[in-house]
Amino acid sequence: MSKTSGSNKNANYVSKLTKRGIGDRAIRFKCSLSNTILDVLRYRGWQEVQSDSSNNEWDFYWCDIGWMKEYFDHCYMEEHVRICHFRNHYELTRKNLMVKNLKRMKKQIDRELGKIEASSWDFFPTTFELPSEYHIFVEEFKRNPGTIWIMKPVAKSQGKGIFLFRKLKDITDWKKGEYRPSQPEPDKEAPETYVVSRYIENPYLIGGRKFDIRIYVLVISYIPLKVWLYRGGFARFSNSRFSLDSIDDAFVHLTNVAVQKTAPDYDPDKGCKWSTQQLRQYLMAKHGYEKVDKMFKLMDEIYIKSLQSVQKIMINDKHCFELYGYDILLDTNLKPWLLEVNASPSLTASSKEDYELKFGLLDDVLNVIDIESRLTSKEKHIGGFDLIWDDGPVMSDDCGMDCINTAAYASNSHLGCYFDRIKQLRQTHKAANLAKKS
């Protein structure tokens, strides 16, 4: 993908800021990917270290989750070193573990604070793990005849292996008697682990098409919990009009770009995406400020509560941070539903606009991480990121130009609001320099 003029403008500004490295040398980085993140790292003027170099020669590593599993526990890192995953990130990003932790936390809230407070955790569909919870699922299935369910393999992405069903005979691998974990058969392979969830049958539609929203959340610490929300993101639309009459049609029900781009009538130039700014403006025009503001507040609760559900079991490490890709679906009542959380959201651009979004996003991740120690750590806004949680909710001192907010103590959350990254970064660095001189 060729570099855009917007990205070049950004890169020229960033390079002026980041020539200073660790001490008297340039910042050294490794990167396991060859997409937008590699472009960003190179544009910052940092020095690339070859993949076969020893561990102690880099200051920053954008690694894959395979490397974390194999090497993280065995390598020593200097104080300043940063790496892009937490050790047990999968507690939130594997579909079955995410639901397990959310259910556990909801039960704890119910026990300690009561059912009303626990009801605020009803932001994920009824879900079971198969085959381990097959019998519990069957009981729920029989209590709700005619309900549509969706099956997802826990360890796959990009829509692979997902299907919808109405009848138990459609999931024969887990039928009673066919899979007995206590009596393994050496010649018979155990079925793959899936989650099965109640399908949201009343999704909010635009132009008759279903969509979900990809939102970027950056966690730089779990103890204390410190969370940044990116203003940019996108809605991913299905290529075909929504209908419950064709539950076998992936182009109707799955919004993954990897699925939609294989549709016969898919237009790569047009694509199937809206920016979160476009989506916010559309919803505000149709439903008014109050309803849409309530919807965005509920989405903020989803990010924070899901992170709190794993806060005590996540292995917190000062070297680690995580950029999560949250996938959220709206229903016809503007209620947001959490579908899944991705530890490795796609950084490959599908269009010029997508490249500009991801370039700015990743550049601002590095600005927040601040390996150059240029900031004061007191900032609430850095580029397109807003600090929404710092061991407690963060209150806003301003908001986007198109984000009307009348609350006396408004949350510092501005998803889908207007922002000028470069202007904001200049202001932030100028303020930081003045603060350090005073």
267-324 pLDDT tens trace: 665 568 899 999 999 999 999 999 999 999 999 999 999 999 999 999 999 999 999 9
The alpha carbon of residue 243 and the mean position of all alpha carbons in its chain are separated, in whole angstroms, by: 27
Range 237-267 burial, b when 16+ CB lie within 10 A, else e = bbbbebeeeebeebbbbbbbbebbeebeeee
pTM above 0.85, yes or no: yes
Q: What is the 3-state secondary structure (H, E, C) of the chain?
A: CCCCHHHHHHHHHHHHHHCCCCCCCCCEEEECCCCHHHHHHHHCCCEECCCCCCHHHCCEEECCHHHHHHHHHHCCCCCCCEECCCCCCHHHHCHHHHHHHHHHHHHHHHHHHCHHHHHHHCCCCCEEEECCCHHHHHHHHHHCCCCCEEEEECCCCCCCCCEEECCHHHHHHHCCCCCCCCCCCCCCCCCCCEEEEECCCCECEECCEEEEEEEEEEEEEECCEEEEEEEEEEEEECCCCCCCCCCCCHHHHCCCHHHHCCCCCCCCCCCCEEEHHHHHHHHHHHHCHHHHHHHHHHHHHHHHHHHHHHHCCCCCCCCECEEEEEEEEEECCCCEEEEEEECCCCCCCCCHHHHHHHHHHHHHHHHHHCCCCCCCCCCCEECCEEEEEECCECECCCCCCCCCCCCCCCECCCCCCCCCHHHHHHHHHHHHHHHHHC
More confidently predicted of 230 and 12: 230
What band does 175 get if pLDDT is binned at 50, 70 and 90?
low
Computed over every residue of the chain, the mean pLDDT equals 86
Q: In the block, which residue shows the tokens 């989750």?
A: 65
Task: Classify strands 205-206 and 163-165 as parallel, antiparallel or unpaired.
Answer: unpaired
pLDDT bracket for residue 67 (50, 70, 90):
confident
Lowest-pLDDT range, 2-11, 43-52, 120-129? Answer: 2-11
Tens digits of residue pLDDT in 388-404: 999 999 998 765 445 55
- List the single range of 48-62, 134-148, 192-206 with lowest mean pLDDT: 48-62
| CA–CA distance, 427 with 26 (Å, rounded to integer) | 24
* Least confident span in 115-124, 149-158, 373-382, 426-435: 149-158
Whether 33 shows a pLDDT value over 80: the answer reads: yes
